Structure 1
Amino acid sequence: MKRLIYSFVILFAFNGCKEEGRIDFIDDQASAPTPVEIKNVKNISGGAIITYDIPSDHNLLGVKAVYVRNGKTVETKGSLYVDTLIVEGFGNTNEQEIELFSIGRNEKLSSPVSVKISPLAPPVQLVKFDLEAGFGGVVVGLDENKTNADLSIVLLADTMGNGKYVDMQTFHTKSGKIKFSRRGLKIQPSKFGLYLRDRWNNVSDTIYRELTPIEEVKIPSDLFRNAALPTDYFLTAEGNTGYRLEQLWLGADASDNAFYASSHSAPMPQWFTIDLGRRVSISRIQKWPRPEYELYSSTAPRTFEVWGSEAPNPNGSFDDSWFLIGEFEQFKPSGYGEGREVGPVTDEDKDYWYNRTEFDVIPTAKAPDPYRPVTHLRIRVTSTFQTYGTETNRSQIIIAQLAFWGQLK
């Protein structure tokens, strides 16, 4: 008998330790939860932040706001652990009525609490944008997107000359200030349009421009050579000739495993000079990384400068014989973090890194006349992804290929 009782106790203990699925008891008969009490409304661009007191109700699951946006009834929900809801996506500054409901665990709703909001102007009305002629096409630009809103920039063109505009290309960005180029267009007067659209399909007014793209060609590399000025740094990793500077423009003539790689722990910043062998002006620069490596990391250049000269000082100094063409940073379509950290890398980032990285030359305060003719280019790498934001002043640099576009003079 004792043995039987002992066995039963063990069996009970064993079964009692088995992990069971969670069972939440929901009382369908419970009454609807207590309504919220509105504490504050802060109007923001395209919406409002609504703060409320959370009801002390054991049956409370959360809170939701119900409102009409662009002709459709939509909802925004929050859990019982937050006392704020953001309603957004309004395309104008008209007064809007928002209804808030407490949600019970049994899905019953409290009686509504109504609140009025007056959204500030939405991003599509606030952000300045423009369109201008560029090399090989047009340049689309946002001046200041202080809202950091996720916007689409829609480029239109009257392709048939009949006054009917069709979508040509759509650019997407959250950046505060950015320019995009659409190239491959005919060098003739053409009519274009441009407008902004947000993710709720609110749109700005459309601006129209008649522009003539500027002729642009790829600068032939047949006469390129390493100028090898005294202050230049172009020592290769392990002294391997497969990593020499000339690999930057050999392109298809180079072996699959050939690229430029400076020696390990080289001083930063470091620069090299290319004799172009002809007189040109530069409109953009294309860069290719080592295949399948340095994805927004390691020894790839993150920031660099491009300088131009028609008669560089043979002592290699940065004197008046050089002028600044531009300062550049590797673009990342999904953007860098608040602290400029790389952050997650998306498929779009990866595609841009390996296939579409380029840098447009545009006039700036530091480079007011970047299209002046040059015979020599000096690439000054100021940081790699390895050294950016650190006090490290030594790094290897690896670049697979460079190409330059502009005009022959």
Structure 2
Amino acid sequence: MINQYKNILHTILPALMIACLFSCSKVSEYKDVVSTDMTKPDPVTNILVKNEAGAAVITYDLPASENILYVQATYMINDKVSRQTKSSYYSDTIIVSGFERSQEYKVVLRTVSRANVSSDSIVVTVHPLEPAYRAVFPTIVVKPDFGGININVLNAKKANIGVITVAIDPVTKKFEIINQNYTSQDTISYSLRGYDTIPKQFGFYITDQWGNISDTLFRTITPIYELLMDKSKFASYSLPSDVRTGFGWVIENLWNNNTGSPGYHTDQPIQPLVWPAVITFDMGQTAKLSRYTLWDRGIDGSGNWLWQAGAPLSWTLWGRTSAPVDETMPSGPSAPGVGETSPNGWINLGTFRLPAKPSGLPNPQYTNADLDFWNAGFSFNFSLDLPRVRYIRFQCLENASLTNNFFNMTELTFWGDPR
């Protein structure tokens, strides 16, 4: 492990991990009540230990005294860092956590009175199970992606972890942190892009909210070539089954490099109603697509449309290389899978879903973080196994309001290899 970037990590842990420290530690609230009773309290008795991943739950009996304020546990989580955890008089349990590895640790328990007088020490031995950050490390899988690398990690316990990526800095000539992904998701998959198609060495390790760090996995990866698709070549390619345009929000607005209003809008409601609704366009070039970003109508002069109204909630993209043939696109359980074709030769490029609102607030409420998330657009990867395509059909399966009789969006951007 390289001490230089370890030190950096300890100084830049984001607010998410700091918040997790307080939410995951067992520090019960207590009031510092002043007392003149300077009697040394008795220690806790009848101690039981339940070992958990990177932690231990200690239960005990409190001494029969109303002068007790809290129980304090003091312990080392590794060779350098000491922690203290407190539990109020109203609890018979204290959780000690953040241990670096699965081994024996000594925990010193003391009862503390309202006059801030401590009892004699009781030393308890705990043997936590393997910490989450160590259990997660062997699951790291990295592979080449378009313009970069793809990182996959399994976090079965949904622990608060950080997936850290390092690479040689061209200035310092040392490994430096280039990305930090802090999450509690169980399945983690994301890509880092912006790299040339030449071999490059990367390192990956896992950290937790207490600053513990796993070993580092080093891999030399050659990113796959990709290019921003040239929107000047895009054009509408309306087919008989395509939905009609509404409000003058024409399909060409989807590639005018304006992520705000106006964008594209169907009739509202679609007349006659045919659902799922489909639109078709020509990219003007054949390419092996790698990813795309979709922007939805946000906050404009007519209102707040975040996670509501006509934003596509779920949709399927279809593609083909040869001149389009019209058909009613299949949907539902019997539809072709990704990479498979419809009866008239449209290839299923994937079914996608609008990400959930980060805050979880009900509509129309939102936070600034929600708004930033929405305005950044939603990015999705295509399977690396898909063939080259030129023509695209966007099939809206559900809209965010679940009226399922119209949809709208403001911009689509694609990347791929058109060579």
> Over residues 65-119 of structure 1, what are the superposed CA-to-partner deviations in whole Å (9 max), with x where a residue is unaligned?
2111232221112233333222211111111111222232232223333222111
Equivalent residue number for residue 150 of structure 2 = 139
Give the whole-Å Cα distance in 2 for the aligned partners of 1:67 and 1:344. Answer: 44
Question: Could you say what secondary structure the match of 1:248 adopts?
Answer: helix
Return the match for 1:359 from 380, 396, 407: 380
Q: Are 2:135 and 1:126 aligned?
A: yes
Equivalent residue number for residue 386 of structure 1 = 401
Q: Are 2:36 and 1:28 aligned?
A: yes
Return the match for 1:314 from 310, 314, 326: 326
Question: Could you say what secondary structure the match of 2:231 adopts?
Answer: coil
How far apart are 1:296 and its partner, in Å? 4.1
Equivalent residue number for residue 11 of structure 1 = none
> Over residues 141-165 of structure 1, what are the superposed CA-to-partner deviations in whole Å (9 max), with x where a residue is unaligned?
21x1012122222212235599842
Give the whole-Å Cα distance in 1 for the aligned partners of 2:84 and 2:33. Answer: 26
Counterpart amino acid of residue 76 in structure 1: T
Give the whole-Å Cα distance in 1 for the aligned partners of 2:305 and 2:264. Answer: 13
Q: 1:140/1:108 Cα in 2 relative to 1: closer, same or farther (>3 Å)?
A: same
How far apart are 1:279 and its partner, in Å? 1.3
How far apart are 1:275 and its partner, in Å? 2.4
> Over residues 1-37 of structure 1, what are the superposed CA-to-partner deviations in whole Å (9 max), with x where a residue is unaligned?
xxxxxxxxxxxxxxxxxxxxxx997322253444333
Give the whole-Å Cα distance in 2 for the aligned partners of 1:386 and 1:32. Answer: 64
| TM-score, scaled relative to structure 1 | 0.78
Give me the CA root mean square deviation: 3.2
How far apart are 1:38 and its partner, in Å? 4.4
Give the whole-Å Cα distance in 1 for the aligned partners of 2:161 and 2:363. Answer: 21
**Most deviating of 283-292 and 323-332:** 323-332
Alignment of 1:247-262 (within 5 A): 247-252=253-258, 257-262=261-266
Contact preservation (8 Å) 2:298, 2:374: no
Equivalent residue number for residue 186 of structure 1 = 196
How far apart are 1:345 and its partner, in Å? 6.2
Contact preservation (8 Å) 2:236, 2:251: yes
Q: Are 2:347 and 1:323 aligned?
A: yes
Equivalent residue number for residue 19 of structure 1 = none
**Most deviating of 169-178 and 36-45:** 36-45
Give the whole-Å Cα distance in 2 for the aligned partners of 1:160 and 1:41. Answer: 50
Q: How many pairs are equivalent?
A: 366
Contact preservation (8 Å) 1:336, 1:342: no
Give the whole-Å Cα distance in 2 for the aligned partners of 1:223 and 1:298. Answer: 30
Give the whole-Å Cα distance in 2 for the aligned partners of 1:233 and 1:174. Answer: 41
> Over residues 18-59 of structure 1, what are the superposed CA-to-partner deviations in whole Å (9 max), with x where a residue is unaligned?
xxxxx9973222534443334532222111122333444322
How far apart are 1:199 and its partner, in Å? 1.7
Return the match for 1:281 from 271, 288, 306: 288
Contact preservation (8 Å) 1:195, 1:203: yes
> Over residues 264-294 of structure 1, what are the superposed CA-to-partner deviations in whole Å (9 max), with x where a residue is unaligned?
4567644332222221221111122324343
Counterpart amino acid of residue 121 in structure 1: E
Alignment of 1:53-64 (within 5 A): 53-64=61-72
Give the whole-Å Cα distance in 2 for the aligned partners of 1:108 and 1:343. Answer: 53
> Over residues 316-358 of structure 1, what are the superposed CA-to-partner deviations in whole Å (9 max), with x where a residue is unaligned?
3332412222233344695869xxx899966555433212531
Q: 1:38/1:317 Cα in 2 relative to 1: closer, same or farther (>3 Å)?
A: same
Q: 1:330/1:78 Cα in 2 relative to 1: closer, same or farther (>3 Å)?
A: farther
**Most deviating of 91-100 and 323-332:** 323-332
Contiguous gaps of at least 5 residues in structure 2: 1-30, 331-341
Give the whole-Å Cα distance in 1 for the aligned partners of 2:365 and 2:204. Answer: 31
Alignment of 1:129-168 (within 5 A): 129-142=140-153, 144-160=154-170, 164-168=174-178
How far apart are 1:249 and its partner, in Å? 1.3
> Over residues 357-384 of structure 1, what are the superposed CA-to-partner deviations in whole Å (9 max), with x where a residue is unaligned?
3112235xxxxx23x1112222233344
> Over residues 119-172 of structure 1, what are the superposed CA-to-partner deviations in whole Å (9 max), with x where a residue is unaligned?
111122111112221111112221x10121222222122355998423222222
Give the whole-Å Cα distance in 2 for the aligned partners of 1:386 and 1:40. Answer: 52
Question: Could you say what secondary structure the match of 1:121 adopts?
Answer: coil
Contact preservation (8 Å) 2:77, 2:98: yes
Return the match for 1:374 from 375, 378, 389: 389
Give the whole-Å Cα distance in 2 for the aligned partners of 1:25 and 1:193. Answer: 51
Counterpart amino acid of residue 355 in structure 1: A
Give the whole-Å Cα distance in 2 for the aligned partners of 1:42 and 1:342. Answer: 42
Counterpart amino acid of residue 119 in structure 2: S
Give the whole-Å Cα distance in 2 for the aligned partners of 1:323 and 1:211. Answer: 30
> Over residues 214-268 of structure 1, what are the superposed CA-to-partner deviations in whole Å (9 max), with x where a residue is unaligned?
11111112232333334443542xxx10x2332211224x9x6312233445676
Contact preservation (8 Å) 2:306, 2:364: no
**Most deviating of 125-134 and 324-333:** 324-333
Equivalent residue number for residue 82 of structure 1 = 91
Contiguous gaps of at least 5 residues in structure 1: 1-22, 364-368, 388-392
How far apart are 1:295 and its partner, in Å? 3.5
Alignment of 1:281-300 (within 5 A): 281-292=288-299, 293-300=304-311
Contact preservation (8 Å) 1:35, 1:102: yes
Contact preservation (8 Å) 1:42, 1:50: yes
